[in-house]
Amino acid sequence: MENEISQQKNAASKSIIKYILLTGLLAGTLDISAAFINYMISTGAKNPVVVLNFIASGVFDKAAFSDGFFYPFSGLLFHFIIVYSFTTFFFLLYPKVKSFLKNKYLAGVIFGLFTWLVMNLIVLPLSNTPSLHRSAPQIILSVLFLVFFIGFPAAIIADKFYSQD
C-alpha cells in the first residue's frame, strides 16, 4: 500500500515537472518571439539579437552589447531561467489561486500583471540593464504581451493539469 502511494506521488511529481517544462518552453518562446517582433517593428532594426544582449546586460552590463555569440546565448538562457522560475511559481500556487479566483483567464491576467510588476519594479532596477524609458502605450503593450504569452498559457495548462485529478 505504501509503495503504491509512493509510486503515485512519484508519477504526479514527474507529471507536474513535464507540464512545467512544456509550459515554460511555450511561454518563453511566445514571449521572446513577441519581444523580437516588437523590437523590429518599433525600431525598424532587422536584427533582434539586441533583445538578447539587453537581457544579458542584466548580468554583464555594457559588455553584453559587444560582438560574439556568448552574450546573446546568455540572454536567451537568462530569459528561459526567468520564465521557468515564474512558471514554476505559478504552477505551485495555482490550486490556491484557482480556488480563490474561480477563473483561469482571470488568473492568467493577474499572473501576467504580477510578472510585469516583478520584472519592472524589482528585477530590472536591481540588474545592470540600461534604463527603459517607455511611453504609456509601450507599457500597456508589454503588459499585454505578458498576459497573453505567459499568463494565459500558464493558466490554461495549469488548469488542465490540476483538472485531471
For residue 130, what is its C-alpha cell? 540600461
What length is written for the chain? 165
How does pLDDT run along the chain (165 residues), one tens digit per residue? 565 555 455 556 679 999 999 999 999 999 999 999 999 999 999 999 999 999 999 999 999 999 999 999 999 999 999 999 999 999 999 999 988 888 999 999 999 999 999 999 999 999 999 998 889 999 999 999 999 999 999 999 999 999 986
> Identity (one letter) of the amino acid at 65?
F
> Identity (one letter) of the amino acid at 93?
L
- Domains in the chain: how many in total? 1
DSSP letters spanning 90-131: HHHHHHHHHHHH--HHHHHHHHHHHHHHHIIIIIHHHSSPPP
Global pTM value: 0.89
How far apart are alpha carbons 108 and 126 in whole angstroms?
A: 26
Can you give the residue range of the structural domain that contains 148?
Answer: 2-163
